[in-house]
A = this chain, B = another copy of it.
Amino acid sequence: MAGSFFKGCFLSLFDYKTEKYIVAKNKKVGVLYRLIQLSFIGYIIGWVFVSKKGYQETDEAIQSSIITKLKGVSVTNTTESGLLVWGPEDYVIPPQGEAVLFVVTNFLETPNQKLGYCAENPKVLNGHCRDDKDCEEGKMIVAGNGIMSGRCLGKDENSTGTCEIYGWCPIERIFKPQGPLLTNAENFTIYIKNFIQFPKFTFSKSNVLDTADDSFLKKCRFDKDLHPYCPIFRLGDITRRAGYNFQDMATFGGSIGIVIEWDCDLDKGYSNCHPQYHFTRLDVSVSNKTIAAGFNFRHTRYFKNAAGESFRSLFKVYGVQFNVMVHGKAGKFNIIPTAINVGSGLALMGAGAFICDLILLYLMKKGNSYRERKFEGYKSNKSTSEDYSVEDRKGAKEQKNLALL
């Protein structure tokens, strides 16, 4: 007897239980339900699978290496610096070919500065004085150029002069850029060597043509159609594609973002994974004219004379910062994301039935009759169950209104 019981249990384990449905011959709700189903199927196929490629495993942890190199020369002639020839080793800061680089387009040299005493710059706040009491000895002003000696160097007895400071003298003169001094900087070219790897798929590629022809890189220029694998750009073209004029940016400086995008569908093979280049100006917001515009900094070159005394040249340089950023993702077919997306898509369809049930039961005129049919009152005909059979007769009517699914 016990044996046949467990045998029964085991057999019933493999009985298939399926939900019992009632057919509501209501065309309005039926059509609505089919429409909801169709829109979910459309969403799953169109959005999840075609647009988002939900059947693919993706790798977004792109590993990337950027090496940049500039070419081009420029000549400047200023009273302070004389006739100067600028090569990449001078106008690219830092020179080591990093992904973030600065190209000097304008500069002011203050040569032969020595440590000594001279007057503070009149543009410095709190540097003005009427007499020596305004210039406390040893005081340092945040935006100043040195330490106060305690003397006031007035232009005139009554007017505001400036305090004397101990610092690198002569002080840098006030400079309002009128236009870029490295006038042909827009003709410089930048060569952006980019190697990428997707470790998950052991896939690697470069943005430079796989060729043994050494002269290719000497002659080519980037062209989306003709030379997509020649990553050499004219600086003027980069700013133009970002929507700005190079000469305007060059006067006060600015910042340009170069985004290299690798969106690779590895199911289509190696040769279908191409880099895309986008250019944006990074240092302007909605209102074009702010006090925050421009990019400049100072650097120095130190020298020693025969007596061993230090002197230096101070350079205030304006220029354009280029910021090469690499984004990318790769996808490849994999059964696990496919199954998850199919499954969760099917599960989503339950939401459609939920909406239609609500309409059928609560919004249709004949809702009551559906409800009686859909919800079968529990009438114990075999077992005795007094605790809940009390309300049996009223049940069918009372469970009408609030029976949220």
Contact = CB atoms under 8 A, between A and B. Distances in A.
Interface in A77-95: 83-85, 87-90, 93-95
A321 B94 CA distance: 14
A215 B153 CA distance: 24
Contact of A301 (B73, B211, B302): B302
Interface in A158-208: 166-168, 184, 187-189, 193, 195, 197, 199, 204-206, 208
B8 A398 contact: yes
A359 to B, nearest CB: 9
Given A12-B403, A17-B405, A25-B395, 16 more contacts: A15-B30, A18-B353, A19-B353, A25-B389, A65-B257, A67-B295, A69-B297, A72-B140, A73-B147, A83-B115, A95-B298, A195-B282, A204-B285, A205-B285, A340-B348, A366-B385
B208 A292 contact: yes
A50 interface: no
A156 interface: no
A47 B300 contact: no
A97 interface: yes
Contacts of A167: 73, 85, 87
A299 B95 contact: yes
A2 interface: no
Interface stretch (A128-136, A244-252, A372-380): A372-380
A290 B206 contact: yes
Contacts of A16: 23-24, 26, 29-30, 32-33, 356, 360
Instruction: Classify the secondary structure of A's interface with B.
Output: mixed
A61 B14 contact: no
A47 B383 CA distance: 44
A195 to B, nearest CB: 5
A175 to B, nearest CB: 15
Interface in A238-289: 255, 257, 259, 270, 280, 282-287, 289
Looking at A30, A290, A297, which has the most chain B CB atoms within 10 Å of its CB? A297
B102 A100 contact: no
Contacts of A270: 286
A399 B147 contact: no
Nearest to A93: B96
A37 interface: yes
Interface string A116-128: 0000000001000
